[in-house]
Amino acid sequence: MSTTSPNEADQTANVSGNGFPKHMNWSDIPVEHPAEGIERQMLVGKRMMICRFRFAPFLVTPEHDHPHEQMTIVERGRARFTIGGEARIAVAGDVLHFPPNVRHGATMLDEEVVLIDIFTPIREDFLHE
């Protein structure tokens, strides 16, 4: 049994595509700012990735689509999602599924929103921003 802490082996990498298991805490994963009012953290595996987003109140993510399958967990806050032309309000504890190539977007409501997004395959575009 190893006596090293979960993060000692690789404290700075957020890519685990090397085939070794990882045990991390969100507080150890670097925070990026891809746009005004958005914070993103990522942990990348071999064929999937998980991202934690913090969105400012009233921020709008325009409708878009991508070839990746996506699942989103609302950790905190409320957002109005448009999925395939249908609007719905999602709150903490809700889980949404976005099949590949389905148009979707979101408007954060009156408080900070924290979302956990899981993508497969990996969003290569996120790695090069």
Which tens digits make up the pLDDT trace of 18-58? 667 889 999 999 999 999 999 999 999 999 999 999 999 99
Among residues of the chain, what percentage have pLDDT more than 90? 81
Model pTM score: 0.84
Task: Say yes or no to pLDDT of 91 above 50.
Answer: yes
The stretch 3-21 carries a mean pLDDT of 52
- Look at residues 82, 86, 80, 73 and name the one whose alpha carbon lies nearest to residue 104: 82
- DSSP string spanning 44-69? E-SS-EEEEEEE-TT-EEEEE--SSE
Biggest alpha carbon–alpha carbon distance for the chain: 52
